[in-house]
Amino acid sequence: MSINNETVQLIAKAILANTAIIQSLIDHLPNEAKAAVHAEVAMVAPVVVTPKVAPAPVAPVVVMPAPPVFTAPVAAPVAAPVAPVASDAPFTDGKGLIEYVMGSYKAMGPAKGAGIQAVLTQLGYGNINEVRPEHYGALFAGIEALKG
């Protein structure tokens, strides 16, 4: 399978978007939790901390971030309850989804685990926090295929 420039750019944009969301979530954690997150990430990949600086009028530079870190989504206002969708996935909610994906990523390692982003992209999602319950089964099947 050959990957064209457009696919590479799409994957890079998705990774950058996930990284920005994750950094925002981490920024809002209590200091003790931040330390735990940084310790966990240090076991998987080097942590790159970038200071917040006002943007300067220069040409943009693309920086590849560390592998994605999956965290629990920030609580959003609750709309109407959603009926559960039958699937083969061993999880039924966002918390279970995050735990499964994190465990799978750790089990596969960074090289193979990076394929999780491709599964998300194939399902039409930019990051793990967007996955709707009706796609849990497809996400589970895709990740299990990576493990295969």
Residue 47 has pLDDT above 50, yes or no: no
pLDDT value at position 53?
63
Number of domains in the chain: 1
Q: Is the dihedral of CA 146, 136, 138, 129 positive or negative?
A: negative
Structure tokens at 39: 């310790």
Residue 30 has pLDDT above 90, yes or no: no
pLDDT value at position 15?
76
The region, left, alpha or beta by phi > 0 then psi within -120 to 50, assigned to residue 124 is left
The model's pLDDT over 50-95, given as tens digits with 9 standing for 90+, comes to: 666 666 666 665 666 666 666 656 655 555 555 555 678 998 999 9
How much is the pTM? 0.45
89 CB-near residues (< 8 Å, 6+ apart): 97, 100, 136, 137, 139, 140
Q: What percent of the chain has pLDDT over 90?
A: 28
Residue 127 is classified by DSSP as S
C-alpha 14: how far from chain center: 9
* pLDDT band at residue 139 under the 50/70/90 scheme: very high
Domain of 55 in residue numbering reads as 5-147
26 CB-near residues (< 8 Å, 6+ apart): 34, 37, 71
The mean pLDDT of 102-111, rounded to a whole number, is 91
Structure tokens at 79: 């709309």
Structure tokens at 61: 């530079």
CA distance 88 to 138: 9
pLDDT value at position 135?
93
